[in-house]
Amino acid sequence: MKPDDIANAITQALIQGGSQWLISTLVAFLPALWTMTLMMHLGRPYVIRTLRRCGLRLGADIWWMSYLLIRDALMLITFAVSWIFFLPNVVSSAALPLTGPLAALLLLLALAVKLSRRVDDDIQAYRLSTIFLVLGATLYYGAQVFAVEATSQSYLAGFGAFFTSNSNVPVALGIMWVSLAGVVIVALWLFVRVWVSATRSMSRRLASEQEPAKREPMPAAR
């Protein structure tokens, strides 16, 4: 083997290995992101209890704003990282949880509930988004813990082979395409909703701006 061959081998290995490592790192961080998302969402009663004890409005506002930012940003980041489950080549080559795309779809549904209803004021909306999140997390954790991360356990071999994407490619791709269709539908619905809502609110504002200003009444005597 010549030095050029070795250099090429190392270059290719760094590119391919780096790409695989990036994917596996993202997948490895997803349980952490899912857990943080769930904890922040379920911890709302505790956060409100703490909020009520703030003596000043400023402290309460800072506390509530930080909570909302972290909670919702975590949900968004978890969904963004879960996008890896919608890449057909990655699904068929890497060991990913089979139900990962469904979990991502349920996470998007929880986000859609937040975007379309006032989850922080409406108990039913909060319950609905909680149910979506818990179902999504269960679908993700089950396959991740007992299939992808349990290859060393021979008695889980059947379960592992079924619920790991690269050892059950046809089913994995089927679930991925169905979930992707669901994501597209939800995204389209959100897009239309934002479009209609923005058009309504902005046209109302424009109409009020274009309306001629009422003349000041002239005093009868100066």
What are the residues binding other proteins (CB under 8 A)? 1, 5-6, 8-10, 12-14, 16-18, 20-21, 24-25, 28, 31-32, 35-36, 38-39, 41-46, 48-50, 52-56, 58-59, 62-63, 66, 119-120, 123-124, 126-127, 130-131, 134, 145, 149-153, 156
Whichever of 51 and 173 has its CB closer to other proteins, that residue is: 51
**Does the CA dihedral 165-166-167-173 come out positive or negative?**
positive
What's the min distance (Å) between Cβ of 14 and other proteins?
Answer: 7
Tokens of 92: 């068929």
Side-chain-facing half-sphere of 80: CA atoms under 13 Å: 6
Whichever of 54 and 186 has its CB closer to other proteins, that residue is: 54
Query: Which residues are 164's β-sheet partners?
Result: 97
SS3 216: coil
What's the min distance (Å) between Cβ of 46 and other proteins?
Answer: 5
What's the min distance (Å) between Cβ of 16 and other proteins?
Answer: 5
- Within 10 angstroms of residue 54's Cβ, the number of other Cβ atoms is 14
Whichever of 42 and 202 has its CB closer to other proteins, that residue is: 42
Q: Which contacts (CB < 8 Å, 24+ apart) does range 194-198 have? A: none
What's the min distance (Å) between Cβ of 118 and other proteins?
Answer: 12
Q: Residue 181: what residue type?
A: A
